[in-house]
C-alpha cells in the first residue's frame, strides 16, 4: 500500500499542472469574452453587464457552494462538478451567439454567467482540499510557485490567442479565430479537470467548521473594536472612482479627489482613536461619546 505522504505529494503536483491548464483557459479564452461581444455588436450597456453580472452571480455561487460543502463532504466531487461544467459551458457560449444572431449578446451574457458561476462553485471546495494537502510550513512556497506558473502561462496564452485572432482578421474571418481559441479553452479546462480527478482526498479528513451567519456575527461584534474595520473597507473603495473638475471654467480635465476632499464630500471627520488611547494610557481624561462622535466639517 502506498504511503499517504507519497499520495499527497502526487496530488500536489496534479494541483500545479491543473493550475497551468486552467490559466490557459483564462488567458486564451476568458480574457477575450469582451472582444467576442464586440464581434456580436453588443452595446456598451451589454458589455458592462457582461463584465459585472457574472461576477455578482459567481459570488452567490460561492456562498451556495459553502452551504453544500457543509452538508456534502465529498469535496472532490464538488470540484469536478464546477470544473467539468465550466468546460462544457464553452460550447454553448460559442455556438448559441453564432446561431441566433438576433439575440447573440444576451445569449453570450447568459452563458458567461453560467461559466463564471460554475468556476466559482468549485472554489471553496478546492481551497479546502488543497490547503489540507499542503503542509502549513510549505503553503507559501507552494501557492507562490503555482501562482507564478499560472501568471506566466496565462500571459503566453493571451498572446497566442491574440495572434490567432489577428490572423483570422487578416483572412477576413474573425469568427473563425474565436472558434479556435474558445475550443482550445474548453480543451484546456478539460485537461485541467482530468488532473483534478486524479487528486486523492482519501488521505485528508474533512472537518466541518461553524457556519458563518451574518446577522449573528453583527450582533456578536456590536460594540467591539472590529466594527470600524469593515466600515472603513466598505467606504474606502467608494472614494476611488470619484473625480472632480480642476478648473471652474470646466476645460474637460479631471483630477482625483484628495482624501480631505472625500471627507468633505461626506461631510464628516472621524476622531483619532489612537490619540484618545494615548491620553488614557498617560492618565489623562478620556472624553466620552461626545468626543468620539462624527463631527461636521464647516463648509
Task: Return the domain boundaries, the chain.
Answer: 4-198, 258-299
258: Cα within 13 Å, side-chain hemisphere: 3
Q: Which CATH class is domain 4-198?
A: mainly alpha
Q: What is the pLDDT of residues 53-104, one digit of tens each?
A: 999 999 999 999 999 988 887 899 999 999 999 999 999 999 999 899 999 9
How deeply is 121 buried, as exposed, middle or buried, from its count of CB atoms within 10 A (0-12, 13-18, 19+)?
Answer: buried
Please answer whether residues 79 and 129 qualify as being in contact, where contact means their C-beta atoms are separated by less than 8 angstroms: yes
Pick the range with the lowest mean pLDDT from 26-35, 220-229, 233-242: 233-242
CA distances from 176 to 40, 94, 141, 228 (A): 13, 11, 41, 53
Contact at 8 Å (CB) between 265 and 241?
no
Give the predicted TM-score (pTM) of the model: 0.69
Cβ–Cβ < 8 Å for 102, 41: no
pLDDT of 280 over the 60 cut: no
Res 255: pLDDT:
41
Amino acid at each position: 500500500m502506498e504511503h499517504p505522504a507519497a499520495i499527497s505529494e502526487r496530488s500536489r503536483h496534479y494541483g500545479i499542472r491543473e493550475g497551468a491548464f486552467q490559466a490557459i483557459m483564462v488567458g486564451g479564452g476568458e480574457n477575450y469574452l469582451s472582444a467576442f461581444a464586440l464581434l456580436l455588436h453588443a452595446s456598451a450597456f451589454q458589455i458592462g453587464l457582461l463584465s459585472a453580472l457574472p461576477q455578482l452571480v459567481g459570488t452567490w455561487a460561492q456562498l451556495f457552494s459553502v452551504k453544500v460543502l457543509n452538508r456534502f463532504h465529498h469535496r472532490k466531487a464538488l470540484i469536478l462538478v464546477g470544473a467539468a461544467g465550466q468546460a462544457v459551458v464553452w460550447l454553448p457560449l460559442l455556438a448559441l451567439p453564432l446561431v441566433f444572431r438576433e439575440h447573440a449578446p444576451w445569449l453570450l451574457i447568459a452563458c458567461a454567467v453560467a461559466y463564471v458561476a460554475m468556476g466559482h462553485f468549485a472554489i471553496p471546495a478546492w481551497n479546502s482540499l488543497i490547503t489540507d494537502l499542503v503542509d502549513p510550513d510549505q503553503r507559501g512556497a507552494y501557492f507562490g510557485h503555482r501562482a507564478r506558473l499560472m501568471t506566466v502561462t496565462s500571459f503566453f496564452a493571451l498572446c497566442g490567442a491574440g495572434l490567432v485572432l489577428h490572423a483570422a482578421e487578416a483572412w477576413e474571418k474573425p469568427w473563425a479565430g474565436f472558434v479556435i481559441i474558445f475550443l482550445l479553452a474548453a480543451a484546456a479546462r478539460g485537461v485541467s479537470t482530468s488532473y483534478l480527478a486524479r487528486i486523492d482526498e482519501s488521505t485528508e479528513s474533512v472537518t466541518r467548521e461553524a457556519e458563518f451567519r451574518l446577522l449573528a456575527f453583527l450582533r456578536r461584534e456590536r460594540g467591539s473594536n472590529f466594527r470600524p474595520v469593515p466600515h472603513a473597507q466598505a467606504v474606502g473603495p467608494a472614494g476611488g472612482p470619484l473625480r472632480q473638475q480642476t478648473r471652474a471654467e470646466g476645460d474637460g480635465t479631471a483630477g482625483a479627489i484628495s482624501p480631505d476632499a472625500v471627507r468633505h464630500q461626506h461631510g464628516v471627520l472621524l476622531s483619532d482613536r489612537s490619540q484618545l488611547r494615548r491620553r488614557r494610557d498617560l492618565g489623562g481624561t478620556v472624553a466620552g461619546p461626545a468626543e468620539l462622535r462624527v463631527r461636521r466639517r464647516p463648509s
